[in-house]
C-alpha cells in the first residue's frame, strides 16, 4: 500500500527515542521531511545526526507553551508548512500526590493541546492536514499505571474525538493510537525489567502474543492513520496492544 507520504511535512514531539524515534524514522523512510523535538540537547543531537538531513531536531520543553509555539512556527518555516503532527511526549507520571498530577496534566494533556493549537493554522492550510495523538491502553482500563497516567491518557482520547468533530469541516483529520506494553531498553519496561524483574515477568505474561510490542509496530499504525491511505478515518482510537486489553470496542 502506498501511504503517499513522500514530501509530507511532519512534526513529532518526543522524537529522539522510543516510540517517537520510531515514528520519525517511519516518516523518513516514506520520504517525508520531519521536524522533531525532545527535552535534552544530547538526545536531540544524537538523533539528528543519526536520522539524516531530512530530520531537524530542536530542544523544547513541551510544558512551555511559548517555546512550543516558537518551535512550531520555526518548523513550519523550515518545512514550508505543516501537514501532519504527532504529539507524543508523556511524563509517564505515577503517584497520587498533587505535584505528580500537575506534571501529568501539564505534559500529557496541556502539552498536547498547546501543540495542536500552535499547529492548527498550518494544518488547516494543508490539503492533507492530519493529527495523530498518542494515548495508551491505560486510558481504557484500570491497570498499574492508572493514576494519574491512565486518567490523563483517557482525557487525550476524549480530546482527540472532540477535536476530530471540530476540525473535520476544515479538512483536518484527528485520530489516536493507544499502545499496549512497548519494550525498548531505555524505556519504562526496560527499567522495570532491570529493577523489578518479577513485576516485568508478570506483566509480560499478560500479553497473549507472548511478548511486548516494538516501537516500530506502534509507529506503523501512526503512519497509516496520518496518511491519505486513511483518508476517510477520523475520530478513531486505534488500540495496538497485541490483545492485552480484554474490553470489547464498540
Catalytic residues, by residue number, are 135-136, 149, 153
Query: With contact defined as beta carbons under 8 Å apart, do 70 and 115 qualify?
Result: no
Cell 492550510 -> residue: 125
Cell 510544558 -> residue: 63
- The pair phi, psi for residue 235, each rounded to 5°, is 80, 10
CA angle 91, 96, 243 (to 5 degrees): 60
3-state secondary structure of 25: helix
Query: How far from 248 is each of 194, 217, 244, CA to CA, in Å?
Result: 33, 22, 12
Amino acid at each position: 500500500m502506498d501511504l503517499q507520504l513522500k514530501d509530507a511535512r511532519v512534526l513529532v514531539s518526543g522524537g529522539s527515542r522510543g516510540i517517537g524515534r520510531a515514528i520519525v524514522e517511519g516518516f523518513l523512510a516514506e520520504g517525508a521531511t520531519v521536524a522533531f523535538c525532545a527535552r535534552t540537547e544530547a538526545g536531540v543531537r544524537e538523533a539528528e545526526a543519526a536520522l539524516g538531513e531530512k530530520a531537524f531536531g530542536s530542544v523544547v520543553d513541551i510544558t512551555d507553551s511559548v517555546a512550543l509555539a516558537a518551535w512550531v512556527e520555526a518548523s513550519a518555516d523550515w518545512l514550508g508548512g505543516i501537514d501532519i503532527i504527532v504529539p507524543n511526549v508523556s511524563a509517564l507520571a505515577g503517584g497520587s500526590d498533587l505535584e505528580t498530577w500537575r506534571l501529568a496534566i501539564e505534559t500529557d494533556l496541556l502539552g498536547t493541546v498547546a501543540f495542536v493549537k500552535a499547529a492548527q493554522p498550518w494544518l488547516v492550510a494543508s490539503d492533507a492536514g492530519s493529527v495523530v495523538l498518542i494515548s495508551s491502553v491505560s486510558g481504557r482500563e484500570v491497570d498499574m499505571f492508572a493514576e494519574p497516567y491512565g486518567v490523563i491518557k483517557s482525557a487525550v482520547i476524549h480530546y482527540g474525538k472532540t477535536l476530530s468533530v471540530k476540525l473535520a469541516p476544515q479538512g483536518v483529520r484527528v485520530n489516536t493510537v493507544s499502545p499496549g506494553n512497548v519494550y525498548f531498553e531505555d524505556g519504562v519496561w526496560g527499567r522495570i525489567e532491570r529493577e523489578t524483574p518479577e513485576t516485568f515477568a508478570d506483566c509480560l505474561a499478560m500479553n497473549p502474543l507472548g511478548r511486548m510490542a516494538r516501537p516500530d509496530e506502534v509507529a506503523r499504525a501512526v503512519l497509516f492513520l496520518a496518511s491519505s491511505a486513511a483518508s476517510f478515518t477520523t475520530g478513531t482510537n486505534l488500540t495496538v496492544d497485541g490483545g492485552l486489553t480484554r474490553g470489547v470496542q464498540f
